[in-house]
Amino acid sequence: MIVADKKPIEEIIEEIKNHEKILILGCNECVTVCEAGGKKEVGVLASALRMYFLNQGKQVKIDEITLERQCDHEYLEEIRDRMDQYDAVVSLACGVGVQFMAEKYHSTPIYPGVNTCFLGVTEERGLWTERCQACGHCILASTGGICPVARCAKRILNGPCGGSTKGKCEIDKEIDCAWQLIIDRLKALDRLDEYEELCPLKDWSTDRAGGPRKVVREDVQQ
């Protein structure tokens, strides 16, 4: 999932302080799971903002809606007939949702309510860690299901480097060396011979290096 973190309320207040009719728009998908932008977080933020503006003596209308997703047309269309009631929207979706909202509703400013962090997993409640950098050309088949692109600080494809000590990365003793994990995993799978095979140069044109990307699937297009 896409992992996001809450923005400080002070920052959101600064974004919207000049507006009077504000919609706090949550998303029921990834940001709900990582407890940054779901219905509950929308409720907490809206309540806090209502009290803040009331305390400041300002009449500000703050409404709450949480959509199923903010990255699909059909869900964003659900609020079209209500958008004229607001002069600003704080989207608690990831950066994708914020942008899609902005693309769809040209005349209403859309502000981000979360910081979008990475593609990751819930290791435990309150702890989310990165697993994928969406490089566009998956090599997990040859690395025992552990990604050196996302989990090695240097993104090296034939590791480990000299900075690997006792299974940890030189940048932080808390971070596992991805290549140590790969070697351990290949050993457990009895595929250590594959580790000897050099990984050829990776085509990074499918990564961000090639500019904004798109996936075209003519077979499912209408």
Q: Specify the residue, 76 or 92, whose C-beta has the smaller distance to other proteins.
A: 92
Give me the phi and psi of 171, to 5 degrees please. -75, -25
Which string of DSSP letters, residue by residue, matches 106-152? TTS-EEE-EEEEEEEEEEETTEEEEEE---SS--GGGTTT--HHHHS
State the nearest-atom distance from the C-beta of 37 to other proteins, in Å.
15
State the nearest-atom distance from the C-beta of 62 to other proteins, in Å.
11
Q: Under a CB-based contact definition with an 8 Å cutoff, are residues 146 and 181 in contact? A: yes
Q: Under a CB-based contact definition with an 8 Å cutoff, are residues 130 and 150 in contact? A: yes
Q: For residue 9, state whether it binds other proteins (rule: CB under 8 A).
A: yes
Q: For residue 211, state whether it binds other proteins (rule: CB under 8 A).
A: no
Q: For residue 54, state whether it binds other proteins (rule: CB under 8 A).
A: yes
Q: For residue 50, state whether it binds other proteins (rule: CB under 8 A).
A: yes
Q: Specify the residue, 12 or 93, whose C-beta has the smaller distance to other proteins.
A: 12
Residue 160: asked if its preceding bond is cis (omega within 30°), the reply is yes
**C-alpha dihedral sign at 37, 41, 42, 46:** negative
State the nearest-atom distance from the C-beta of 107 to other proteins, in Å.
29
Give the number of residues in contact with other proteins, rule: CB under 8 A: 17
Q: For residue 59, state whether it binds other proteins (rule: CB under 8 A).
A: yes
Binding site for other proteins (CB under 8 A): 8-10, 40, 43-44, 47-52, 54-57, 59
